[in-house]
């Protein structure tokens, strides 16, 4: 079985602790360590293909910003004592190999990179402004040590997920896109023989359907290329969404008769989504046509400013 980057990172950190505690004990006492951020290894999905770039034994040391600014030279001197290889794998802790993803990092600066804030979002508008895959990137992976608790406190605040008004607004938008692209425009494009439009409709539906599954499960969706992998493990409609998207991926859009099973699968998934919306108390309208369910979900938004937004917008 191929080595997993996250477990390798954890072992490398444990092996590095004596060196770091011996040379910068005061800094370690106020810092956190782990592997969180960008890269397939932070999501636990790295494989042999991942090793062609930015892969190897490494970890993040999140240092309080003011300490990072004044003690950078001491920190780098300690990191320079770490080995070049670990258990036969390359170590990517030299400054030129870090890519800004591992090694010593300013604690609040780490979150600022993804959120545009050095604290948890405090308003609905701040939540709206953050790309969802960035929220996933700063809450994935694992924290191996947190001596001050500051890094973990921020992480836990984010993992409590979107405020319900934001979740409802996003779900309303996904209803509209799934209905427009998958239940309406796809069939019309096929009837006209517009294969490129059919492909684009299927793709737009696919991304909205995946997003819907994550929203219904209250989980942040990762960067698009990993979203299907993780959706399969979502208990609410995750497998159904991925199976539907696989049918879309295997469909020849220039042969309308072969597209019938894909169109039927879309309708089945939309029916399941509509039922789940009713089960979660997000909508009450009957039927599987998601277009009227979008406005219904949005009417449940309490904040007047968010409720007034175009229903197709996030």
Cα–Cα–Cα angle for 10, 16, 22, rounded to 5 degrees: 140
Q: Grade residue 1 by pLDDT with cuts at 50, 70 and 90.
A: very low
In this structure, are residues 73 and 23 in contact, taking their beta carbons and an 8 Å threshold? no
With 50 as the cut, is the pLDDT of residue 94 above it?
A: yes
- The total of other beta-carbon atoms located within 10 Å of residue 215's CB is 23
Measured CA to CA, the distance from residue 25 to residue 190 in angstroms comes to 66
Percent of the chain with pLDDT over 90: 85
Shared-domain flag, residues 174 and 264: yes
Q: Where are the alpha helices (DSSP H) in 39-185?
A: 40-43, 65-70, 72-79, 95-98, 107-115, 124-129, 132-137, 150-159, 164-177
With 80 as the cut, is the pLDDT of residue 45 above it?
A: no
Summarize pLDDT for 269-296 with one digit per residue, the tens: 999 999 999 999 999 999 999 999 999 9
- The total of other beta-carbon atoms located within 10 Å of residue 284's CB is 10
Range of the structural domain that residue 206 is part of: 164-307
Tell me whether strands 85-86 and 142-146 are parallel, antiparallel or unpaired. Answer: unpaired
Q: Which among 159, 183, 216 is the end of a domain?
A: 159
Flag whether 313 is in a domain.
no
Shared-domain flag, residues 119 and 80: yes
Both tokens assigned to 81: 């004592």
- The total of other beta-carbon atoms located within 10 Å of residue 123's CB is 10
Both tokens assigned to 73: 């030279």
Flag whether 277 is in a domain.
yes
pLDDT score recorded for residue 50: 54
Summarize pLDDT for 188-208 with one digit per residue, the tens: 999 999 999 999 999 999 999
Summarize pLDDT for 76-85 with one digit per residue, the tens: 999 999 999 9
pLDDT score recorded for residue 238: 97
The whole-chain average pLDDT of the chain stands at 93
Residue owning tokens 């990137």: 137
Flag whether 70 is in a domain.
yes
pLDDT score recorded for residue 2: 53
Measured CA to CA, the distance from residue 109 to residue 308 in angstroms comes to 34
């Amino acid at each position: 079985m191929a080595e997993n980057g996250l477990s390798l990172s954890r072992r490398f950190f444990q092996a590095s602790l004596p060196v770091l505690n011996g040379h910068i004990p005061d800094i370690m006492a106020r810092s956190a360590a782990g592997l969180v951020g960008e890269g397939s290894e932070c999501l636990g999905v790295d494989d042999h293909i991942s090793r062609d770039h930015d892969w190897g034994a490494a970890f993040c040391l999140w240092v309080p910003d003011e300490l990072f600014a004044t003690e950078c030279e001491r920190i780098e001197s300690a990191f320079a004592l770490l080995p070049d290889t670990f258990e036969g794998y390359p170590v990517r802790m030299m400054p030129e190999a870090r890519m800004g993803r591992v090694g010593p990092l300013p604690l609040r600066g780490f979150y600022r990179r993804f959120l545009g804030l050095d604290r948890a979002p405090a308003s609905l508008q701040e939540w709206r402004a953050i790309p969802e895959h960035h929220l996933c990137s700063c809450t994935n992976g694992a924290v191996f040590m947190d001596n001050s608790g500051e890094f973990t406190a921020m992480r836990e605040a984010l993992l409590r997920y979107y405020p319900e008004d934001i979740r409802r607004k996003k779900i309303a938008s996904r209803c509209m896109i799934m209905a427009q692209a998958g239940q309406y425009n796809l069939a019309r494009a096929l009837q006209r023989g517009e294969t490129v439009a059919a492909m684009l409709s299927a793709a737009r539906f696919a991304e909205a359907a995946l997003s819907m599954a994550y929203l219904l499960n209250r989980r942040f969706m990762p960067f698009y290329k990993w979203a299907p992998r993780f959706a399969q493990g979502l208990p609410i409609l995750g497998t159904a969404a991925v199976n539907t998207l696989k049918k879309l991926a295997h469909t020849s859009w220039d042969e309308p008769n072969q597209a019938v099973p894909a169109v039927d699968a879309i309708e089945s998934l939309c029916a399941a989504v509509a039922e789940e919306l009713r089960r979660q108390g997000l909508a009450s309208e009957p039927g599987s046509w998601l277009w009227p369910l979008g406005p219904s979900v949005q009417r449940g938004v309490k904040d007047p400013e968010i409720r007034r937004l175009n229903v197709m917008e996030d």
